[in-house]
Chain A
Amino acid sequence: MTQPVTTSSGAATGDGGGVWRRSWFQALIVLAVLVAGYWVSRTLGHPSWAGGFPTGLGDGFMSWLDGIYAWIVENRNDSPLFLYFFNYVSVGLGSAVVLINQALDALTWVGVTVLGVLAAWRAAGWRVALLVLVTFGVFALSGLWNASMTTLALIITSVFIALLFGLPLGVLAGRSERFYRWLRPVLDFMQIMPAFAYLLPFVLLFGIGNPAASVVTAVYALPPVVRITALALREVPEGSIEAATSLGSTPWQILTKVQLPLAKRTILLGVNQTIMLAVSMVVIASVIGAGGLGDAIFQALSKVNVGQAFQAGLAIVMLAIAMDRVTGAVGNGAHTPDVPERLRMPVLGGGLAVVVATVVFGRLFGLGGWPRNWAVDIAAPVNAVNDAIEGVIGGATSAVGTWMLTWVLSPLSEVLTGAPWWLVVLVAAALGWIFGGVRVAVISALSFVAVGLLGVWNNAMDTLSQVLVATVLTLVLGVVLGVLMSRNDVFATILRPILDAMQTLPPFVYLIPAVALFGIGRVPALAAAVIFALPPVIRLVNDGIRGVPAGTVEAAASQGSTPWQMLTKVELPLARGSLLLAVNQGIILILSMVVMGALVGAGSLGFDVVFGLAQNQLGLGLASGLAIVGLGLFLDRVTQGRRASHA
């Protein structure tokens, strides 16, 4: 609620006070102090008072968590809480996923395809129907039909749960200002939490497998539908509500006859976003034992089989795009076929009849899932192509990778882990103060101390170094591409649909090309993070520059600015708000991806999460998850503090 305090540092005033009052300069000094501190510590041979965070407390915390985990495992079958609640939920969800999966099987592959295509046509027109047909084609031909159906069943289950809780919460938040004020920080927090950090608590409660996966997916996908439903209800014109009230509507009638119908389209956009988040999380949840396409990618990546990963990745990509187009079209109604009112029931009936007929036909011929031997295996050719490409540019990419590792990643990681921990905490606080004010400084310091207390200091610093490098890369690339996009309409027209598509993809699939190019290790994780975070950054830079008032640009041109002066003195400064937003969004995306990079050997916090899961070391896994949250909090607050006070 409280606005970030505007401090007296005057860093953002920009005018007067010289270079000393500029925030970038102050930040540079702070970083120089950090490097100096590291150098001193190294020269002294890393004495205990000037080294990494003492691990004693963290170890205690972890073994305490391990104890809790052991207790839970022991008591899962007699504690009433588990016996009568979590286990029931778990069994229920497990059966829901299985049931839906069986239902999809019972429809047979022809039935599912016909149903999907007809539904897509009715909701979104024939183009999208065609896209859905192609998607089912990819499922079938890649031999991943069954995995796809499992993924679909998981998505349906978790979206159902998310909407079951999200819609009522959104309605409450839309109607009650107090409830919304209470809920909003929770949603904010949920949205900066990297997906990986969600996983462990749910494993604790539900064990490994589909139930935990569907709950974690539902929770992860919850915020947009709540937020957008609340927003949509608030946007219903006051006049319509007042008029309905003046005619004597009850609060329930106002909700059902005025607010919900008028907010419907916007709410559907929220549902669309929730579905897309569910698609991305369901893939990540393969780490905690969710089956389906995510598992296929997970398995392929762990064997570094690019071809197999590509196959499954393609299926996921098609699924994501098709889901987005169908649900998005329901939301904005743009391409919905215009069926006259009196024909609607007949059309629906006809469609159902066709589906039923197809299913009966399918059952008669004993069809089920798509037969495996009809699949076209593209894994081998993709691997061949990949090998060929690697043969040509492999030398170059591995050189780039090695250079990156030796000259950038490792030194930075070394400085962060080797400098006295208290100095790092102070530096974090100082940066928070420079960029966000006193409140942010306190939050930053506390986040870092918490990370230390959790006992994962070194890994956290390593993760941080990856995030920082990826952020710098992303910003440089993003600003260059964004500026180009704002300058060149043809380029913008080409780039925009690509960015759209990239933003609908689950982050998991970005690991595949990264592995293909850089093998495994920290560098591919970095590359995946950069690719993943680039689209929103490019878009925001472009929007910011294009949003500069034409009159201002004209005035600057009339005074004889060169294009470079125009960019650096007029456009970029005026687009400041968008640029800061780009930094903020980019850095949060990068963190979540870098952590996921553990799956391709990036180590650090993400690895601890996976390792903790795999080895039943829940203490380590949970502590790492919490440390990820701490880093996220720091990065988010530092990059958004000023923005709020300037808006």
Chain B
Amino acid sequence: MSTQRTEPEGNLSDVTFSVRNLWKIFGKNADKVVGTDLEKADSGAIKAQTGATVAVRDVSFDVRPGEIFVVMGLSGSGKSTLIRCLTRLIEPTSGQILLDGEDVEQASEQRLRELRRRKVAMVFQHFGLLPNRRIIDNVAYGLEIRGVPRAERYERAREMIGMVGLSGHENSRPGQLSGGMQQRVGLARALAVDPQVLLFDEPFSALDPLIRRDMQNEVVRLQKELDKTAVFITHDLQEALKLGDRIAIMRDGELVQVGTPEEVVGRPANAYVADFTSDVARTSVLTARWLMREAFPEEDTDGPSVEPGTVLSQVLPLLSASVAPVRVEENGELLGFVGRDDVLRAIAEDQLEDEGAFEAIVEDNAEDLPATAAEDGHGGTTPSGNGG
């Protein structure tokens, strides 16, 4: 099955989904855009000239095994179309999608069904449950259509229902359950076929905030426990930061930035992303690894030690108790230091949204500030020292 195409970037075995130059254009003249001069025009111009709507524009990214890859964007940014293109629920206009090195675009109808049945399962915003079936039959649906005998599929379905915490509801109908419970059923249904990849299309947008938080924790737990790869669509930045190992920010069909939560918050690719992330409390996203630096000469180096993944808000109490900077250590190996000044600077940037304002204030008050503080401020530099 596996057509061993060699991909220029990266080793295939390290990539679950590899998406290259993916386009999705809706409308009659969809095939008359890609590969022509129009390709570079903006969506409005394309719409005006051909009547076609660009939903996904020249998108490329890789999803690595075991990670949660979050695609974040506002409504209309094309993120739901993008995730549907991955298993061709929506047929892409052009581009390449490799799943474990296999070209999804080239798959026959039958092969595509096979992929959907065994490798990739999806969880939907509005659940997509079958209201006439009992919960257990909903969860067992994926097994039923691939011909698993009843006893076996019920056993598996019961196990999954237990895993998402719905034991005892096997014989209820979807309409009798709350939204959060229905989405647990959706999750159990996706997990029942034991897929390698889970696709989430804004699964928690329709839920109440408290239930949403429970469900997010549930996803993190299950994903780690079962070692699944996940692509997760959301419009909620908090959710993206909480769940994502990496986040892709999407706007008007294009990926604006792909990176870890820290990269997105700490080093936004453009004003759009910066604006988007401006409300995020950096102390809860940025980690010791992100801020750490070499020790200054004559600095006290025997402060408390933290893991590199510790977020700033947890470093703060240590620093308030110790004058010395904290040591960032991983498996006993010293990686760098984070001092009070570094943290203060991160917090200050949090308060003043753009860096320009920060610099301006520092400069305006330079003469009033003690010399050392100003020097230290420059010594820390802008947070580009990503020691890892």
CB closest chain-B residue, reference A265: B132
Least Cβ–Cβ distance between A624 and chain B, in angstroms? 48
Taking a contact as CB atoms under 8 Å apart, the answer to whether A243 and B128 are in contact is: yes
Taking a contact as CB atoms under 8 Å apart, the answer to whether A248 and B131 are in contact is: no
- Given the interface pairs A246-B122, A247-B193, A248-B113, the reply to whether A240 lies near B128 with Cβ below 8 Å is yes
Which chain B residues (140-180) contact chain A, with CB distance < 8 Å?
A: 141-142, 144-146
Provide the bound-state CA to CA distance between A258 and B145, in Å.
Answer: 11
Inside 8 A of B145's CB, which chain A residues have their CB?
Answer: 244, 247-250, 253, 257
Asked if A397 lies at the interface with its beta carbon under 8 angstroms from chain B, I say: no
Asked if B127 lies at the interface with its beta carbon under 8 angstroms from chain A, I say: yes
Provide the bound-state CA to CA distance between A53 and B145, in Å.
Answer: 66
From B126, B132, B133, B142, A247 is in contact (CB under 8 Å) with: B142
A 203-247 binary contact with B (CB < 8 Å = 1; else 0): 000000000000000000000000000000000010110111111
CB closest chain-B residue, reference A341: B171
Least Cβ–Cβ distance between A165 and chain B, in angstroms? 26
Least Cβ–Cβ distance between B153 and chain A, in angstroms? 13
Asked if A261 lies at the interface with its beta carbon under 8 angstroms from chain B, I say: yes
Asked if B121 lies at the interface with its beta carbon under 8 angstroms from chain A, I say: yes
Asked if B30 lies at the interface with its beta carbon under 8 angstroms from chain A, I say: no
Number of interface residues of B (CB under 8 A): 30
Taking a contact as CB atoms under 8 Å apart, the answer to whether B124 and A243 are in contact is: yes
From A243, A246, A248, A261, B129 is in contact (CB under 8 Å) with: A243
Asked if A426 lies at the interface with its beta carbon under 8 angstroms from chain B, I say: no
Taking a contact as CB atoms under 8 Å apart, the answer to whether B130 and A239 are in contact is: no
Taking a contact as CB atoms under 8 Å apart, the answer to whether A250 and B128 are in contact is: no
Inside 8 A of A257's CB, which chain B residues have their CB?
Answer: 130, 141, 144-145
From A245, A246, A248, A262, B130 is in contact (CB under 8 Å) with: A262
Which chain B residues (342-384) contact chain A, with CB distance < 8 Å?
A: none
CB closest chain-A residue, reference B110: A250
Provide the bound-state CA to CA distance between A237 and B130, in Å.
Answer: 9
Inside 8 A of A250's CB, which chain B residues have their CB?
Answer: 113, 145
B 107-137 binary contact with A (CB < 8 Å = 1; else 0): 0000011111110111010111111110000
Asked if B87 lies at the interface with its beta carbon under 8 angstroms from chain A, I say: yes
Asked if B189 lies at the interface with its beta carbon under 8 angstroms from chain A, I say: yes
Taking a contact as CB atoms under 8 Å apart, the answer to whether B89 and A246 are in contact is: yes
Taking a contact as CB atoms under 8 Å apart, the answer to whether B124 and A242 are in contact is: yes
CB closest chain-B residue, reference A250: B113
Inside 8 A of A258's CB, which chain B residues have their CB?
Answer: 130
Taking a contact as CB atoms under 8 Å apart, the answer to whether B141 and A246 are in contact is: no
- Given the interface pairs A247-B142, A249-B145, A257-B145, the reply to whether A262 lies near B124 with Cβ below 8 Å is no
Least Cβ–Cβ distance between B160 and chain A, in angstroms? 13
Question: What band does the interface of chain A fall in when counting residues whose beta carbon is under 8 Å from B?
Answer: 10 to 19
CB closest chain-B residue, reference A261: B132
Taking a contact as CB atoms under 8 Å apart, the answer to whether B117 and A239 are in contact is: no
Taking a contact as CB atoms under 8 Å apart, the answer to whether A240 and B130 are in contact is: yes
Inside 8 A of B124's CB, which chain A residues have their CB?
Answer: 239, 242-243, 246
- Given the interface pairs A239-B126, A239-B127, A253-B145, the reply to whether A248 lies near B116 with Cβ below 8 Å is yes
Taking a contact as CB atoms under 8 Å apart, the answer to whether A245 and B121 are in contact is: no
From B87, B122, B132, B146, A243 is in contact (CB under 8 Å) with: B122
Residue among B89, B121, B141, B144 with the highest chain A CB neighbour number at 10 A:
B141
Taking a contact as CB atoms under 8 Å apart, the answer to whether A247 and B89 are in contact is: no
Inside 8 A of A247's CB, which chain B residues have their CB?
Answer: 116-117, 121-122, 141-142, 145, 189, 193
Inside 8 A of B189's CB, which chain A residues have their CB?
Answer: 243, 247
Provide the bound-state CA to CA distance between A442 and B22, in Å.
Answer: 52
CB closest chain-A residue, reference B121: A247
Which chain B residues (193-207) contact chain A, with CB distance < 8 Å?
A: 193, 199
Taking a contact as CB atoms under 8 Å apart, the answer to whether B130 and A244 are in contact is: yes
Provide the bound-state CA to CA distance between A261 and B129, in Å.
Answer: 13
From B115, B129, B142, B146, A240 is in contact (CB under 8 Å) with: B129
Residue among A239, A246, A261 with the highest chain B CB neighbour number at 10 A:
A246
Taking a contact as CB atoms under 8 Å apart, the answer to whether A248 and B114 are in contact is: yes
Taking a contact as CB atoms under 8 Å apart, the answer to whether B132 and A262 are in contact is: yes
A 109-136 binary contact with B (CB < 8 Å = 1; else 0): 0000000000000000000000000000
Provide the bound-state CA to CA distance between A485 and B8, in Å.
Answer: 77
A 244-272 binary contact with B (CB < 8 Å = 1; else 0): 11111110010001100110100000000
From B89, B131, B141, B146, A262 is in contact (CB under 8 Å) with: B131
Provide the bound-state CA to CA distance between A244 and B146, in Å.
Answer: 12
Least Cβ–Cβ distance between A443 and chain B, in angstroms? 31
Provide the bound-state CA to CA distance between A253 and B116, in Å.
Answer: 14
A 22-40 binary contact with B (CB < 8 Å = 1; else 0): 0000000000000000000
Provide the bound-state CA to CA distance between A239 and B129, in Å.
Answer: 8
Inside 8 A of B142's CB, which chain A residues have their CB?
Answer: 247-248
Taking a contact as CB atoms under 8 Å apart, the answer to whether B89 and A248 are in contact is: no
From B115, B126, B186, A248 is in contact (CB under 8 Å) with: B115
CB closest chain-A residue, reference B144: A257
From B89, B113, B118, A242 is in contact (CB under 8 Å) with: B89
Which chain B residues (219-242) contact chain A, with CB distance < 8 Å?
A: none
Inside 8 A of A253's CB, which chain B residues have their CB?
Answer: 145
Taking a contact as CB atoms under 8 Å apart, the answer to whether B116 and A246 are in contact is: yes
Provide the bound-state CA to CA distance between A234 and B144, in Å.
Answer: 24
Taking a contact as CB atoms under 8 Å apart, the answer to whether A239 and B116 are in contact is: no
Inside 8 A of B127's CB, which chain A residues have their CB?
Answer: 239, 243
- Given the interface pairs A240-B130, A261-B130, A262-B130, the reply to whether A246 lies near B121 with Cβ below 8 Å is yes
Q: A246-B199, A248-B114, A257-B145 are in contact. List 4 more A-B contacts (CB 8 A).
A: A240-B131, A246-B122, A246-B124, A247-B121
Point out residues on A near B: beta carbons under 8 Å: 237, 239-240, 242-250, 253, 257-258, 261-262, 264
Point out residues on B near A: beta carbons under 8 Å: 87, 89, 112-118, 120-122, 124, 126-133, 141-142, 144-146, 186, 189, 193, 199
24 pairs of residues in contact across A and B, judged by CB atoms under 8 Å: A240-B131, A242-B89, A242-B128, A243-B186, A243-B189, A244-B128, A245-B89, A246-B87, A247-B116, A247-B122, A247-B189, A247-B193, A248-B112, A248-B114, A248-B117, A248-B118, A248-B142, A248-B146, A249-B113, A257-B145, A258-B130, A262-B130, A262-B131, A262-B132
